[in-house]
Amino acid sequence: MAGFLDDDRPAPKRAHEIGQDLSQLSVAELDERIALLEAEIARLGEARAKKNASRSAADAFFQKRD
């Protein structure tokens, strides 16, 4: 029936799962995962910096109005 999810399809493989067994990975695969995680850390850091800047701007605005 159209519209239903196809449960027979395999789930997409995750690039990395925290805590997974790493013993079967090659050095190249480990390097790839390290690069992926470093890029994610950078993305998270940028998001945090934007939120901090927004919060600081809001704090400064409301402090001036008191």
- Residue 66 CA to residue 55 CA, distance in Å, equals 17
| Residue 62, in any domain of the structure | yes
Determine the pLDDT at residue 15. Answer: 73
Determine the pLDDT at residue 6. Answer: 63
What tens-digit pLDDT sequence spans the chain (66 residues)?
555 666 778 777 667 889 999 999 999 999 999 999 999 999 999 999 999 999 999 898 888 655
| Residue 14, in any domain of the structure | no
**Distances in Å between the alpha carbon of 25 and those of 12, 15, 31, 32, 48?**
18, 12, 10, 10, 32
| Residue 48, in any domain of the structure | yes
- Which domain, by its residues, includes 42? 26-66
Determine the pLDDT at residue 38. Answer: 97
Nearest to 39, CA basis, from 16, 23, 20, 11: 16
Instruction: Give pTM, 2 decimals.
Output: 0.64
| Residue 55, in any domain of the structure | yes
Determine the pLDDT at residue 10. Answer: 77
| Residue 49, in any domain of the structure | yes
Look at the block and give the residue holding tokens 């409301």: 62
| Residue 51, in any domain of the structure | yes
Q: How many domains does the chain have?
A: 1
DSSP 23: T
